[in-house]
Amino acid sequence: MTRGMESRAGDGPPDMRRAMVAAPVWARAWRELAYALVAPLMAVIGLVYAVVVALGVASAAGVVGVPLLALGVPAARRLGTANRWLARALAGVRVADPAPFRSGPGLADRLVAALGDLTGWRAVIHGLVRLPSALLALAVAAGLWGGGPALLCHPLWHSGALPVLPDGLPGAVTASAAGAALLLAAPWGVHLALAPERLLARTLLGPAPGEARTRRLERARAMAVDGAAAELRRIERDLHDGTAARLVTLAMRLGMALEELEHADRPERPARARALVEGAHRDAKETLAELRDLIRGIHPSALGEGLETALATLAARSPVPVRFDADLPERPDPAIEAVAYFCAAELLANVARHSGARRAVLGVRASDGLLTLLVRDDGDGGAAADTGTDAGSGLRGLAGRVAPVDGTIDVHSPPGGPTVVTVELPLHI
């Protein structure tokens, strides 16, 4: 169902009737009709490719089989690319591109690469099995889009020399009404008939499950590298602008105090030296506090007592009242604990800064090898998973933090709330 169809259907029965009348002129209807017409041709071509590859496999020990096999699988991959483009453009299927075909320059290298090309073999299987679904879509499209106009124009036929339906005005009216009904049902029927085609395209023309996971982990690794670099820059900036500057001030104060003590012949000199030492003492304590905060940002000391204690401390310190629930029968790996802690800290900070919430819930539980962290608030909603100004902050930064450990983050935040963020991590890596 298209977005326009959904918005109209939800407004009431009159709008639904208008939507049904307008259905034949929707762009989606014509695209799907075009796909239903071209799908059998592509299915026949795919079947021919599959037969060629099968012949290559059957005679792979002979002179003819080796080049057939070396050419057949990459050719099927190219046909899969064309089918994937048609499925996206005409059938509205969301399917990602697989990794490109790579092989060495020699025939032997090409044969080895073809034999191991999972995307090519999946395209071969797609060409082998899609003909029935393509013929079904063509039959439904021909019956609805062809039979509808034929019945609708029956009165014109009846007045001529081709009375193909029962004579008389009642038969003509009935045939015309049936033709109109078929035309109104045609977009819906073709859309339904294309369901097997969409399923085959999503299943066989996209990346293989292992390949998709590999590419996701590669992106996660790149995000982790960028996040680590950003974190190092932050630490460097904090040390340079904060701690280093305070240490310079501390050294200057102590130097001035030493100079005052070296010339203590005047009565005001000891008082000045005392004031300078007191200022240096304050600078030293503030510098130590900044260093503790910096160290806590690298690895929270609260995790030494376990994730449950650390998260309970976070909930207690939140400016928004937080109810904390935990069910951790076993302790996760230290790296997982650190990721969960920083995710909880960032999410609770977002609740306090942006949500306008009065209450929040922080929950964590471990079961079936998964650690699930949930943060819910009763705020204004509208949070998006792509918010955040850099790789180390916001919900985007959390996605980059959980991805390297094969974790996931789900954000549900409709306008008006509530916002529910769920983070799932493996217990052990």
Q: What is the pLDDT of residues 314-334, one digit of tens each?
A: 888 888 899 999 998 888 888
What 257-260 contacts at long range (C-beta under 8 Å, 24+ apart), as own/partner pairs, is none
- Give the full edge-to-edge strand order of the sheet including 419-426: 322-327, 360-367, 370-377, 419-426, 408-412
Quote the tokens at residue 380.
């204004």
Domain match, 249 and 280 both? yes
Q: Among positive and negative, which fits the CA dihedral 304, 309, 314, 318?
A: negative
**Average pLDDT, rounded, for the chain:** 76
Cα distance between residue 379 and residue 421, in whole Å: 13
State the total domains in the chain.
3
Residue % of the chain over a pLDDT of 90:
12
Contacts 24+ apart (CB under 8 A), 284-290: 284/250, 286/246, 287/243, 287/246, 287/247, 287/250, 290/238, 290/242, 290/243, 290/246
Same domain for 12 and 156?
yes
Q: What is the pLDDT of residue 37?
A: 92
User: Taking every pair of C-alpha atoms in the chain, what is the biggest distance, in angstroms?
Assistant: 132
* Confidence band for 241, pLDDT divided at 50, 70 and 90: low
Task: Give SS3 for 429.
Answer: coil
Do 65 and 154 belong together in one domain? yes
User: What pTM, to 2 d.p., does this model score?
Assistant: 0.49
Kindly report the number of other CB atoms within 10 A of residue 193's CB atom: 20
419-426 and 360-367 beta bridge pairing:
unpaired
Structural domain boundaries enclosing 228: 211-298
Task: Give the tokens for residue 84.
Answer: 């994937």
Same domain, yes or no, for 291 and 313? no
**Stretch 236-255: mean pLDDT:** 71
Same domain for 365 and 291: no
d(CA 166, CA 405): 71
Helices 118-129 and 27-58 pack at an angle, to 10 degrees, of: 110
Domain boundary among 249, 274, 298: 298
pLDDT at residue number 391: 35
Rounded to 10 degrees, what is the CA torsion of 277, 278, 281, 287? -110
Provide the CATH number for the domain around residue 401.
3.30.565.10
Instruction: Quote the strand ranges of 100-160, DSSP E.
Output: none
pLDDT value for 387: 41
Out of 175, 204, 233, a domain closes at: 204
The answer to whether residues 143 and 291 belong to one domain is no
226 and 326 in one domain? no
Q: Note the pLDDT of residue 67.
A: 64
pLDDT in tens, 16-72: 555 555 555 578 888 899 999 999 999 888 888 777 777 666 665 555 556 666 666
**Which pLDDT band, with edges at 50, 70 and 90, does 225 fall under?**
low
Domain boundary among 142, 169, 204: 204
226 & 359 share domain: no
**Same domain for 237 and 381?**
no
Q: Are residues 312 and 275 in the same domain?
A: no
Q: Which of 244, 26, 181, 212 is nearest to 119 (CA)?
A: 212
At 136 the pLDDT is 92
Residues 265 and 344 in one domain: no
Query: Residue with structure tokens 């085959």?
Result: 200
Q: Please check the confidence at residue 6 and state whether its pLDDT lies above 50.
A: no
Cβ neighbours of residue 139 closer than 8 Å, sequence gap 6 or more: 193
What is the mean pLDDT of the segment spanning 98-111? 69
Q: What local confidence, expressed as pLDDT, does residue 97 receive?
A: 79
| Structural contact between residues 360 and 323, judged by C-beta atoms closer than 8 angstroms | yes
pLDDT exceeds cutoff 90 at 119: no
Do 146 and 250 belong together in one domain? no
